[in-house]
A and B are shown apart, each in its own frame.
Chain A
């Protein structure tokens, strides 16, 4: 049974909040979640002087809390123990990171709007600074999850994500598929045909899968797909495969906090986050593996 000690749901006062709260409830119903924190940081600096004058003496903090309480009452009925936290900090992502550490949050749920409506800048920052797993819920996603896709690169973090997915699929009777996107190091094969090089690369990857299955017997029965990146990025290939396979959940291993954030910008999780996909994206952070 997958247990989550503490889960945080980041709300932004938009329409997506109701979906996020309802999604949190569906997680609580399926997994063992001890406590859920519904969080909103009021960006006071974003409110103009005129705006504040118009609304006079209203206690914004109380109003926001009441608003979240209403949403929670409506969409989280029957959910687990929960708490609503409203703050007025200058730096949202640092405040969130602080909450994750203070309440030992293991999973954070954030909403994601389509790229033409929002820059997603805060989400990208959270991805880099929060030391916990993240579940990104796009505004167009639905709650019913039947089929999961786990792209792996054979790193410890991706294998950890795979094992967690396997547990989840066993627990909730979901279908699971593993995917690996490989690139052909073409410059090393100037003398053999591309076809042969692809075949060789596939053999190597299959060998790696064989080793992985030997090491982790529990995933031996999980079907896997090999895809060549060719002229597309890994994230683009994953997106295409998601659409083709009609998966409902994408799970990726997260490599953790990077002391040089700009270096991790091109990483697959970041690229996937910035892509408009219609399924929830679970970025699995493993403290032990990263340590």
Chain B
């Protein structure tokens, strides 16, 4: 068993892991400055690298994510499934509903709102296979949407979350990415290699967070402008939105996971469920339920083909801009979401963890995608071009155009804006908490100063990028980090397998030995007691019938 080795020191009055904290800040300042200075050339270079990666390394992403799904199911349903994160006596810190709300809100809440309509419509209009605009294209569009938002995406998060939770709670290592490599690197995780891994994770998380926040406020502002034309979608509105979101996220981060983050996530899920139920009830209810069944069945039926399809006999790069892009995107977010999921998953068994992180969110995503995506497709197939035109014009307003097709559209739009904002806050606060954990050396109770610092830093980076430009360049750079992280994740699978194997073998050996020893001991004690009793009985019999003295002996 390994022990915690502290790397933390006081810097600026904050207890931090110096090398990770300072190198992250330096890297952050330098890279933002460079991007701001060479905005266009940076964007062009990153874009070329991204295209090259998605075009040439697609096969690696595809095989990797399939391996992750297989690995997650393997650990859940093998002898490892019963291992409890945090040891045998650990109890879950959060109720199942709170746990699910938090992991769902951090994982993909926001993306669902924008892509649930835009993605199926896009696939419907430009399908990878077959004729566009046909019912067959609609079915295919839902299959690919389910692929991108289903088991594979959640398996990436589940793998990272599980590895980190296991090494943190069962091996007493700090809650940082480096801990997942303990079986490989041993004590070296506390050295320079560990610092590099954690710094990379901080950068990927912070850039991912800042760019999402930057783009997110543009979308919220567009939505607000659509619902309330009086609110102008300009840079001032967007900066105000960043300040508001960062402010709420800071309060949430300061109050901690068990208060602010949990309560906000729970309310987000409640509002999201309300919107979902409203769309199901107010929209074509029977169609949604029917298509949910059909879409899920079609996804299951075509699972292998969809998962391994690699556009090998085609000259298009459709997959590069969609499937591979998604895999790189989820993987680049994995350190952030993984750490957060690990943080809230203590006390769950591995089986429970995998089923909770893999199956339940996938099913909810499917229902959401069906309610919004299939309904939008139905409208388009029926000859109503409003939603398709909205998607083509501006993805961020597609949701609100969609609501306009339903009764109570203004109310739904207001709730929609609230929900978008809520999901951004939860992404922001959980992301900040992850960066806090990484830069404080996995401290479970980091100082308030450090929490405030990183929560504000995320907002500040987003604001700077929004004002100075460079959001697209940095987002592309984040996606590029998906490639090294994919390889890291493959190593993580092996590392986790080794760790779990050691624990399971140790436990079985110990359990069998103890059980055998205990039963053997009981039988041995019983036999000894019986033997003693028989001896006593014999001697008592001798006393009752003493042997007459042998006169010859005398």
Please indicate the chain A residues that have their CB under 8 angstroms from the CB of B516 in the complex.
46-48
Shortest CB-to-CB span from A95 to chain B, Å, is 16
Is B526 a contact of A13 with CB atoms below 8 Å?
Answer: yes
Which of B97, B523, B533 meets A13, CB within 8 Å? B523
> Could you give, for residues 56-71 of chain A, a 1 whenever the CB lies within 8 Å of some chain B CB and a 0 otherwise?
0010100110110010
B524 interface residue, CB < 8 Å from A? yes
Please tell me if the beta carbons of A190 and B526 are within 8 angstroms of each other in the complex.
no
Tell me whether A12 is interfacial, beta carbon within 8 Å.
Answer: yes
Interface membership of B527, Cβ < 8 A: yes
Is there a chain B Cβ closer than 8 Å to A14's Cβ? yes
Q: B498 on the interface (CB 8 Å rule)?
A: no
Which residues of A in the span 171-201 have a Cβ within 8 Å of any Cβ on B? Answer: 187, 190
- Residues of B in contact with A, size category: 10 to 19
Contact A51 B527 (CB under 8 A): no
Asked if B520 is at the interface (CB within 8 A of a chain A CB), the reply is: yes
Shortest CB–CB separation between residue B516 and chain A, in angstroms?
Answer: 5
Q: What are the interface flags for B450-462 relative to A under an 8 Å C-beta threshold, 1 for contact and 0 otherwise?
A: 0000000000000
Chain B minimum-CB-distance residue to A187: B270
A206 an interface residue at 8 Å Cβ cutoff?
A: no
Distance in angstroms from B352 CB to nearest chain A CB is 10
Q: Which A residues, 90 to 120, have Cβ-Cβ distances below 8 Å to chain B?
A: 118-119
Chain B nearest CB from A122 CB (Å) reads 10
Residues of chain B with a CB closer than 8 A to A14's CB: 522
Q: CB-defined interface of B90-102 with A at 8 Å, one 1/0 digit per residue?
A: 0000000100000
Question: Given contacts A46-B515, A48-B516, A63-B527, are A13 and B270 in contact (CB under 8 A)?
Answer: no
* Interface 1/0 per residue, A30-73 and B, CB below 8 Å: 00000000000011001110010001001010011011001000
Which of chain B's residues has its CB closest to A236's CB?
B91
* Residues of chain A at interface, number, CB under 8 A: 21
The answer to whether B530 and A46 touch across the interface, beta carbons within 8 angstroms, is no
Indicate with 1 or 0, residue by residue over B520-538, a CB within 8 angstroms of chain A CB atoms: 1011111101100100000
- B313: Cβ under 8 A from any A Cβ: no
A60 B523 Cβ-Cβ under 8 A: yes
Minimal beta-carbon separation of B528 from chain A (angstroms): 10
* B519 part of interface (Cβ distance < 8 Å): yes
What's the least CB distance linking B468 to chain A, in Å? 42
Provided the pairs A70-B533, A187-B270 are in contact, do residues A47 and B519 lie with their beta carbons within 8 angstroms? yes
How many angstroms between the C-alpha atoms of A67 and B528 in the bound complex? 11
A185-225 near B? 1/0 per residue, CB < 8 Å: 00100100000000000000000000000000000000000
CB distance from A207 to the nearest CB of B (A): 27
Q: Which of A42, A55, A187 has the most CB of B within 10 A?
A: A187
Determine the distance from Cα of A233 to Cα of B397 in the docked complex, in whole angstroms.
45
Residue of chain B at shortest CB distance from A62: B530
Inside 8 A of A118's CB, which chain B residues have their CB? 518
Query: Which A residues are CB-close (under 8 A) to B525?
Result: 13
Most buried by B among A13, A14, A51, A70: A13
Determine the chain B residues whose CB is within 8 A of the CB of A58 once the complex forms. Answer: 527
Q: Write the nearest CB–CB distance from A59 to chain B, whole angstroms.
A: 11
Select one of A12, A46, A187 contacting B520, CB under 8 A: A46
How far, in whole Å, are A190 and B246 apart by their CA atoms in the complex? 26
| Alpha-carbon distance A281/B29, docked complex (angstroms) | 65
> A46-B515, A46-B516, A48-B520 given as contacts; is B529 within 8 A of A67 (CB)?
yes
Min Cβ gap A179→B in Å is: 22
Chain A neighbourhood of B524, CB < 8 A? 51, 55
Beta-carbon nearest neighbor of A47 in chain B: B520
- In angstroms, Cα B530 to Cα A66, docked, is 8
CB distance from A180 to the nearest CB of B (A): 21
Question: Known contacts being A46-B515, A190-B270, is A63 close to B520, with CB within 8 Å?
Answer: no
Give the CA-CA distance A55 to B526 in the complex, in Å: 12
Question: In the complex, how many angstroms separate the beta carbon of B364 from the nearest chain A beta carbon?
Answer: 15
The residue in A43, A58, A190 that gathers the most chain B C-beta atoms within 10 A of its C-beta is A43
Set of chain B residues within 8 Å of A60, measured between Cβ atoms: 523
Contact B522 A13 (CB under 8 A): yes
Which residues of chain A come closer than 8 Å to B523, judged between CB atoms?
13, 42, 47, 51, 60
Best-buried of A51, A58, A70 by chain B (most CB within 10 Å): A51
Q: Nearest chain B CB to A21's CB is how many angstroms away?
A: 14
A66 to B191, CA, bound (A): 65
Other 6 A-B pairs with CB < 8 A, given A46-B516, A55-B524: A42-B523, A46-B515, A46-B519, A63-B526, A66-B530, A118-B518
Closest 10 CB pairs of A and B: A46-B519, A13-B522, A13-B526, A46-B516, A67-B526, A51-B520, A14-B522, A43-B519, A63-B530, A67-B530
- What are 19 inter-chain pairs, A to B, with CB distance below 8 A? A12-B522, A13-B525, A14-B522, A42-B523, A43-B519, A46-B519, A46-B520, A47-B516, A47-B519, A48-B520, A51-B524, A55-B524, A58-B527, A64-B526, A67-B526, A67-B529, A70-B533, A118-B518, A119-B511
